């Protein structure tokens, strides 16, 4: 949405601290070993969430009165009731990731990246401007070449039924297509997993509901790694996300200005490149190759220095 960045950054940091204190004392896991999870409280219906996003982000209605584009709001800007519900959902998702990925056995730390979290209304039928990135195979971030750390994005369904399918080709066959609905979610690597959404006819449902989701974020790192390094990685992803969001909003409606059209073209090109780079090469592989190149370069420099001294 349209927000004042300095003001919201202060609120984001304060809320992150508050959320961190709350989830650090969240008690026993909400999930079983097989990944079955439950919320502490009942999930509100779609109408409740629609009121939340309209109240917190009136600019969406002003900019897009026909609701043909996407609309989002940072969860820290929601009402107290909205933030409490997000906290309940995020606690459950945190337990899901830690339980299904054996964090304790693997000695890894999972931290929350609350400043990236958003309530999101998507428009899969709008395939122009920056909305086109969602129907294009893509990854969300570009830091997959950094080893030993991982950023998570969980997309948690709030409304349904609808006709939007999330495609995740890098998953097991039974997880490659997910139709999000109330309480249905998927979690993936923000920087490395290719995905996209498709608009399909849902023949089993005569009435289609808009696709409203929560995008919830975490990052994890080895327990041996200093916390400040893990936090730096989390902040790196957050800063990129803020930049991408601003660019996305500028270019969402390319028919309204030449500048919007130009920015949209750049975003879509970057999206296409990022997805293909991961598909054909893999960011981890790229990182390894770059590490060898740098090592060889500096090794060559050391040898030349030694020869010069001799």
Beta-strand ranges (E) seen in the chain are 71-74, 108-112, 118-122, 150-157, 164-167, 177-178, 185-189, 196-199, 211-222
Task: Please give the structure tokens belonging to residue 257.
Answer: 């200005």
Produce one character per residue of 63-100: b if its CB has 16 or more CB atoms within 10 Å, e if not.
bbeeeebbbbbbbbbbeeebbebbbbbbbbbbbbbbbe
Contacts of 44 (CB under 8 A, 6+ apart): 85, 158
If 0-12 CB within 10 Å is exposed, 13-18 middle and 19+ buried, where does residue 250 land? Answer: middle
Instruction: Give, as one character, the DSSP assignment of residue 62.
Output: H
Q: What is the pLDDT of residues 207-222, one digit of tens each?
A: 555 788 999 999 999 9
Structure tokens at 82: 């909205």
Residues 153/112, Cβ–Cβ less than 8 Å:
no
- 75 by DSSP, 3-state: which? helix
Structure tokens at 277: 């780079």
How far apart are alpha carbons 129 and 255 in whole angstroms? 8
Percent of the residues in the chain that have a pLDDT greater than 70, as a whole number: 62
Give the DSSP per-residue string, 215-234.
EEEEEEEETTS-HHHHHHHH
Question: Could you read off the pLDDT tens digit of each residue along the chain, which spans 310 residues?
Answer: 444 455 545 555 444 444 443 443 345 678 888 888 999 999 999 889 988 888 887 767 665 555 545 788 899 999 999 999 999 999 999 999 999 999 999 999 999 999 999 998 875 554 443 334 457 788 888 898 898 999 999 999 998 877 788 899 888 888 899 988 999 999 999 999 988 888 776 555 545 557 889 999 999 999 999 999 999 999 999 999 988 787 666 554 445 555 555 655 555 565 565 555 555 566 666 667 777 787 776 666 565 555 555 4
| Separation between Cα atoms, residue 176 and residue 212, nearest integer Å | 20
Token pair belonging to 113? 């990246």
Domains of the chain are 5-282 (2.60.120)
């Amino acid at each position: 949405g349209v927000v004042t960045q300095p003001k919201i950054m202060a609120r984001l940091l304060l809320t992150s601290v508050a959320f961190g204190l709350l989830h650090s004392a969240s008690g026993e896991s909400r999930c079983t070993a097989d990944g079955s999870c439950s919320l502490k409280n009942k999930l509100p219906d779609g109408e409740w969430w629609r009121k939340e996003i309209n109240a917190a982000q009136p600019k969406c209605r002003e900019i897009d009165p026909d609701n043909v584009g996407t609309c989002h709001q940072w969860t820290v800007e929601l009402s107290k009731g909205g933030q409490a519900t997000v906290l309940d959902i995020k606690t459950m998702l945190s337990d899901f990731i830690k339980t299904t990925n054996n964090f304790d056995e693997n000695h890894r730390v999972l931290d929350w990246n609350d400043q990236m979290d958003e309530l999101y209304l998507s428009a899969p039928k709008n395939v122009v401007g920056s909305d086109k990135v969602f129907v294009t195979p893509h990854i969300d971030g570009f830091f997959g070449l950094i080893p030993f750390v991982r950023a998570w994005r969980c997309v948690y369904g709030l409304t349904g039924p609808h006709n939007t399918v999330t495609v995740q080709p890098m998953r097991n066959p039974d997880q490659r297509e997910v139709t999000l609905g109330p309480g249905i979610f998927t979690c993936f690597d923000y920087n490395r997993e290719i995905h996209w959404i498709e608009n399909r006819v849902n023949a089993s449902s005569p009435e289609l509901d808009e696709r409203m989701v929560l995008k919830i974020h975490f990052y994890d790192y080895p327990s041996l790694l200093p916390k400040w390094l893990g936090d730096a990685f989390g902040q790196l992803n957050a800063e990129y996300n803020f930049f991408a969001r601003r660019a996305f909003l500028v270019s969402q409606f390319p028919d309204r200005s030449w500048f919007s059209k130009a920015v949209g073209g750049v975003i879509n090109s970057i999206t296409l490149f990022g997805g293909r780079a991961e598909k054909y090469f893999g960011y981890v592989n790229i990182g390894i190759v770059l590490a060898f190149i740098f090592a060889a370069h500096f090794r060559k420099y050391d040898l030349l220095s030694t020869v010069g001294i001799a």
